[in-house]
Amino acid sequence: MTAPGDVAKGSGAPPSGREYPPRPIVGVGGVVFVGGRVLLIKRRFEPLAGRWSLPGGALELGETLAEGLAREMKEETGLDVVVGPVVDVFDRITRDDDGRARFHYVLVDFLCSVRAGAAVAGSDVAEVALVEIGDLASYDLTPKTIEVIGRARGLASGA
Residues marked active site are found at 127
DSSP letters along 58-71, please?
EPPTT--HHHHHHH
Q: Left if phi > 0, otherwise alpha if psi is -120 to 50, otherwise beta: which for 78?
A: left
Beta-carbon-side half-sphere exposure of residue 45 (alpha carbons within 13 Å): 20
Question: How do strand 52-53 and strand 101-116 relate by DSSP bridges?
Answer: unpaired
CA distances from 50 to 17, 28, 68, 127, 134 (A): 20, 19, 23, 9, 21
DSSP classification of residue 20: S
Backbone angles phi, psi at 145, to 5 degrees: -60, -45
CA distance 141 to 128: 14
Length of the chain: 159
